[in-house]
A and B are shown apart, each in its own frame.
Chain A
Amino acid sequence: MPDKVSPIEALSPASRSYGEIGPVSAEPRWAMVVDQERCVGCWSCCVICKSENDVPLGMWWNRIDTVGDALDTPYREQGELAMHWLPLACQHCENPACTRVCPVGATYSREDGLVMQDSGRCIGCRYCLVACPYGVRVFNWGRPERPTEFHTGMVEPRPLGTMEKCTFCVHRLPDGQVPSCVWSCPGQARIFGDLNDPQSRVSRLVRERGGYQLLEERGTDPRVFYLPPRRKRGLEP
């Protein structure tokens, strides 16, 4: 983003310190924790993601699925109604299915565990989309449409006919700032940090709250951990 002012510089000191990742180890292994007890399914993280990353209309790097059978609808568990959400974006797998199948190596794992996409190399065969068990990759099917005349994003827009996906806001990491979705969550349901530091908040939460990975049995070993709700948010007292 050469000719753009990073909004991080424009932040007040208080906002800036709110978004700080905090101390990290020498070799960070980035991970995100999503607390399903705190998520209220408000879509704030999805909206700011679109703005931050200049994601065109009709495309979502980040979305909110509802636990149960239908969107924003309670499900029944042991006779009681309950309602929980499953925020879903790239899981940044340790053993990603997508990077292995890309015929031109346009998607790859970084040293710090981030799964990245090179839009300049992508030929648009969509094999990664086939391989990904989480369905979180997004293809540029048509010419991009945006709600504004100008670009809102802090990153380069991606060309027609190529794949794109969540990057854990890789452009914010050098400033020591958490991804946008983490910063914007009103319920503080998202926590970002270094899994290699046993004392980091993500490490402690995964340990203490029994953080689970999505589709663990497929062996992709995601770097996004979900904290199951301890107390069901029931609709009856």
Chain B
Amino acid sequence: MSAAVGSGPSVGPVDSAATGAPVTVAPAQRTVNRPLALWLGLLGLGLLIGLGAWAYQLSQGLEVTNMRNPMMWGLYITLFMYFVGLSAGGLIVASAGRLFGAGGLKPIVRLAVLEATVAVLLAAIFVLPDIGRPDRAWHLFRYPNFHSPMMWDITIIVVYLLISLTYTWIYARADLARRGSWLALGTKASEAAQKRDERLKLVLAGVGLPAAILLHSITAWIFGLQISRGFWYTALMAPLFIASALVSGTGLMIILALIARRTRRVAFRDTLIAYMGKLLAIFVAVEAFLVFSEMLTAAYPGAGFEGDPVARLLTGRYAGFFWFEVGAGLIIPFALLVVPRLRRNLRWVAVASVLAMVGIFVHRLNIVINGLSFATVPYPPGVPVGTVQPVGTDSFALSLFYYPSWVEWLVALGVLCFGAIVFTVAAWRLPLREAVHG
């Protein structure tokens, strides 16, 4: 990744491709070169480690995680919603660009769609290690309870996965046909077919945009509809999730575009990256606005139903996380992206994108962990339950503390490596840049 970040604004082959008006699609790479093999080998190793950790977790139960009754969700659920966000964010930007004629974004659509597909796949996979009985996952389809926001989410994830797979395929099929791949499923690459595909892409953008918004709103409602958690029970949850998705999704798109330029010589122009940087600045500003509005509303009345978890974020145990989110995740990226001189230097755009993505991850950790870390029944727990920390001298007055266990970290690593393998193989076999005609 650092290699791509280091790729300055002027890389020879890229700029020469960027100046010509009609750009031909770069032929997909056929051979596996050494760095690619090394990269895939490393990812495979990570995947194996993750599978081993998951097998260990399956044999011992979720006891090997640091989740316990008072802190029942942790890293897995955080990563689940983070990846839903990456997926939704990418597709919202790409579809909106297509639908509302933001033509500048057109070349990036394929990359965004691929990102959306792989990310939603990973989100779905993250459900498996989180549940206590993955062998019963089929119960979700056998005994669905449609009162449950989680059931809504499972439904929209399945629908959305199908949409994004179709999306990926429609974008790739003309090239696949030209190449004679069986993956074209009998499609012909002709003038008429191209016209038809253009229309289809517009329809897909029209379907994909609301689906992506719905996907992430429903994920927000898993949390936002719970009366038992004061920190979550806010109508702002869905808009906040959409804003976070746009920030992290666009951030990842910029990073992926830079990597693709560097490793695949895909002709994403400097102006395109800078344009996405400008978009990211707007999204970061919206996110900051929503976070501020949320915190002010909760903190203004002082201690109470909503006040407690907010105090914990502002000055308490999770203050470090919160102020990191504000400083490194919102203020610095915004400053880097809003100044035109800095924005035109893609190095700074890359730094801002990475910071914004990390900031959103910390933001989501705050939502899960801080939201769960206070008990609604306002008395000290009678028995030591959970991973607990004595407060002061009274060993019985326990408070809740969560930090992921090594098993959780390794399982997460395995899922991430799996996603990177899928993405790398797809990006290596499929053309990444949408041709711009005229």
Residue positions of A touching B, CB distance < 8 A: 58, 60, 63-73, 86, 88, 97, 100-106, 121-127, 129-135, 137-143, 159-163, 214-215, 218-220
Contact B69 A97 (CB under 8 A): no
**CB-contact partner of A101 in B67, B142, B149, B383, under 8 A:** B149
From B348-356, B370-378, B415-423, B429-437, the one touching the partner chain is: B370-378
A97, A104, A126, A160 — most chain B CB neighbours (10 Å) = A104
Give the residue name and chain of the A residue nearest to B227 (CB). A218
Alpha-carbon separation in the docked complex, A101 to B221 (Å): 11
Given contacts A60-B383, A97-B226, contact A134 B376 (CB under 8 A): yes
Given contacts A123-B131, A218-B227, A218-B228, contact A103 B144 (CB under 8 A): yes
Q: Report the minimum CB–CB distance from A157 to chain B (whole Å).
A: 14
Q: Report the minimum CB–CB distance from B331 to chain A (whole Å).
A: 32
Chain B: how many interface residues by the 8 Å CB criterion?
49
Given contacts A102-B145, A123-B140, A125-B150, contact A214 B377 (CB under 8 A): yes
Given contacts A104-B145, A123-B131, A124-B131, contact A65 B379 (CB under 8 A): yes
Contact B72 A126 (CB under 8 A): yes
Chain A residues whose C-beta falls within 8 Å of the C-beta of B72 in the assembled complex: 126, 129-130, 139
Q: Report the minimum CB–CB distance from A198 to chain B (whole Å).
A: 30
Alpha-carbon separation in the docked complex, A21 to B7 (Å): 78
Give B59-73 as 1s and 0s: 1 = Cβ < 8 Å from A's Cβ atoms: 011111001111011
Residue B290 interfacial (CB < 8 Å): no
Give the residue name and chain of the B residue nearest to A60 (CB). B383
Contact A141 B62 (CB under 8 A): yes
Residue B382 interfacial (CB < 8 Å): yes
Chain B residues whose C-beta falls within 8 Å of the C-beta of A66 in the assembled complex: 379-380, 382
Give B217-232 as 1s and 0s: 1 = Cβ < 8 Å from A's Cβ atoms: 0000010001111000
Chain A residues whose C-beta falls within 8 Å of the C-beta of B226 in the assembled complex: 97, 101, 130-131
Chain B residues whose C-beta falls within 8 Å of the C-beta of A88 in the assembled complex: 377, 382
Alpha-carbon separation in the docked complex, A137 to B376 (Å): 14
Residue B5 interfacial (CB < 8 Å): no
**CB-contact partner of A123 in B68, B132, B376, B385, under 8 A:** B132
Show 29 A/B contacts (Cβ-Cβ < 8 Å), sorted by A: A65-B380, A69-B380, A71-B396, A88-B377, A88-B382, A97-B227, A97-B228, A101-B147, A101-B148, A101-B149, A101-B226, A102-B145, A103-B145, A103-B150, A105-B145, A123-B137, A125-B150, A126-B73, A130-B228, A132-B228, A133-B228, A141-B69, A142-B63, A142-B64, A161-B61, A161-B131, A162-B132, A215-B377, A218-B376
Chain A residues whose C-beta falls within 8 Å of the C-beta of B375 in the assembled complex: 135
Alpha-carbon separation in the docked complex, A104 to B144 (Å): 5
Residue B299 interfacial (CB < 8 Å): no
B43-60 contacts to A (CB < 8 Å): 60
Given contacts A103-B140, A133-B376, contact A160 B132 (CB under 8 A): yes
Given contacts A70-B380, A104-B143, A125-B130, contact A133 B227 (CB under 8 A): yes
B96-141 contacts to A (CB < 8 Å): 127, 130-134, 136-137, 139-140
Contact A131 B228 (CB under 8 A): yes
Residue B394 interfacial (CB < 8 Å): yes
Give B265-292 as 1s and 0s: 1 = Cβ < 8 Å from A's Cβ atoms: 0000000000000000000000000000
Give the residue name and chain of the B residue nearest to A126 (CB). B72
Q: Report the minimum CB–CB distance from A126 to chain B (whole Å).
A: 4
Chain A residues whose C-beta falls within 8 Å of the C-beta of B140 in the assembled complex: 103-104, 123
Contact B229 A161 (CB under 8 A): no
Residue B14 interfacial (CB < 8 Å): no
Alpha-carbon separation in the docked complex, A192 to B379 (Å): 24
Residue positions of B touching A, CB distance < 8 A: 60-64, 67-70, 72-73, 127, 130-134, 136-137, 139-140, 142-145, 147-151, 154, 222, 226-229, 372, 375-377, 379-383, 385, 394, 396-397
Q: Report the minimum CB–CB distance from A208 to chain B (whole Å).
A: 26
Interface of B is mostly: loop
Contact A135 B377 (CB under 8 A): yes
**CB-contact partner of A161 in B62, B70, B143, B222, under 8 A:** B62
Alpha-carbon separation in the docked complex, A140 to B133 (Å): 11
Chain A residues whose C-beta falls within 8 Å of the C-beta of B134 in the assembled complex: 123
Give the residue name and chain of the B residue nearest to A127 (CB). B150
Chain A residues whose C-beta falls within 8 Å of the C-beta of B69 in the assembled complex: 129, 135, 137-139, 141
Contact A160 B61 (CB under 8 A): yes
Q: Report the minimum CB–CB distance from B385 to chain A (whole Å).
A: 7
Alpha-carbon separation in the docked complex, A123 to B140 (Å): 8
Given contacts A64-B382, A66-B380, A123-B139, contact A72 B144 (CB under 8 A): no
Alpha-carbon separation in the docked complex, A127 to B147 (Å): 13
Given contacts A65-B382, A88-B382, A143-B60, contact A133 B144 (CB under 8 A): no
Alpha-carbon separation in the docked complex, A72 to B382 (Å): 9
Q: Report the minimum CB–CB distance from B153 to chain A (whole Å).
A: 9
Contact A142 B396 (CB under 8 A): no
Chain B residues whose C-beta falls within 8 Å of the C-beta of A141 in the assembled complex: 61-63, 67-69
Q: 20 extra interchain contacts, Cβ-Cβ under 8 A, other than A60-B385, A69-B380?
A: A86-B379, A88-B377, A88-B382, A97-B227, A101-B147, A103-B151, A104-B144, A106-B139, A121-B143, A123-B132, A123-B139, A125-B130, A126-B72, A133-B228, A133-B377, A134-B377, A135-B375, A142-B60, A160-B132, A163-B132
Alpha-carbon separation in the docked complex, A220 to B396 (Å): 29
Alpha-carbon separation in the docked complex, A139 to B229 (Å): 19
Contact B380 A130 (CB under 8 A): no
Q: Report the minimum CB–CB distance from B132 to chain A (whole Å).
A: 2
Give the residue name and chain of the A residue nearest to B153 (CB). A103
Alpha-carbon separation in the docked complex, A219 to B227 (Å): 9
Chain B residues whose C-beta falls within 8 Å of the C-beta of A97 in the assembled complex: 226-228
Contact B131 A125 (CB under 8 A): yes
Chain B residues whose C-beta falls within 8 Å of the C-beta of A58 in the assembled complex: 385
Q: Report the minimum CB–CB distance from A166 to chain B (whole Å).
A: 14
Give the residue name and chain of the B residue nearest to A218 (CB). B227
Alpha-carbon separation in the docked complex, A104 to B63 (Å): 23
Q: Report the minimum CB–CB distance from B405 to chain A (whole Å).
A: 12
